[in-house]
Amino acid sequence: MGIHQYFKSLNDMENLIRMPGKFKYQMHNVAAHSYKVTKIAQYFGTVEEHAGNEINWKNLYEKALNHDYPEIFTGDIKTPVKYASEKLNYLFTEVEQSMTIRFIESEFPEEYQEAYKSFLADEGKDDTIEGQILSVADKVDLLYESFGEIQKRNPEPLFFEVYTESLKEIISFKHLTCVQQFVNVIIPEMLEEKFIKTTELIDITQEILAKEFD
């Protein structure tokens, strides 16, 4: 019992497979995703700071590193399911938060519980610039997961759907300098790579950019 359970649960995050139930050439887990989102958020935070925006780095790292810890209790829910409706997304979030708080109150020393409720149970994707960067970084990693499957000729339509929805969500933060750089510099670099279905992916990307990024 106690903190031992928390430390042990960090290993469990490696067993939480992203986008479960679908054939994938490359498997991704929640632990690796949290690490990648933190690295992406670090870069985007650097871009924003260079553009003159003040970044609370402690807040950004805490949000990025911990944002999916509650999935220990629920598993990874496929994005199209989780965001099928605002009510459904709210219910998933409420369940994750309540189970995380119960775990903290059961296993953590009382003097650290409030800190860890902030680290693990609070919604990281808030209106602060750090919360917005987290939202973007989270979707960028999801976009790259789906891009990798499309690049490897995975015929599963889900990955085109995930790619499309991820790009739309990223573009919804187009007021951020890091998103402008992602759209204007990084996406063109990505699409220059040679792979099957390039034309279809370019068409999808250009259609979204024409509608959403103007």
Burial 89-100 (b: 16+ CB within 10 A, else e): eeebeeebbeeb
C-alpha closest to that of 159 among 23, 49, 47: 23
Distance of alpha carbon 17 from alpha carbon 85, whole angstroms: 23
Determine contact, residues 159/146, Cβ cutoff 8 Å. yes
The pLDDT score that the predictor gives to residue 111 is 95
pTM, two decimal places: 0.84
88: helix, strand or coil: helix
Determine contact, residues 64/34, Cβ cutoff 8 Å. yes
The pLDDT score that the predictor gives to residue 61 is 96
Which class does domain 3-212 fall in?
mainly alpha
Neighbouring-strand partners of residue 17: 29
In tens, the pLDDT along 60-95 reads: 999 999 998 988 887 666 555 555 567 776 777 788
Radius of gyration of the chain (CA): 18
The pLDDT score that the predictor gives to residue 34 is 94
Element (H, E) at 214: none
Q: What is the dihedral of CA 23, 29, 32, 35, to 10 degrees?
A: 110
More confident call, 14 vs 93: 14
Highest mean pLDDT among 70-74, 114-118, 206-210: 114-118
More confident call, 125 vs 202: 125
The pLDDT score that the predictor gives to residue 195 is 63
* Segments in the chain forming alpha helices (H): 3-12, 30-50, 57-66, 71-74, 79-82, 86-107, 110-116, 129-151, 158-171, 177-181, 187-191, 198-212
Q: How many CB atoms lie within 10 A of CB 117?
A: 16
The phi, psi pair for 207, rounded to 5°, reads: -65, -45
Distance of alpha carbon 42 from alpha carbon 29, whole angstroms: 20
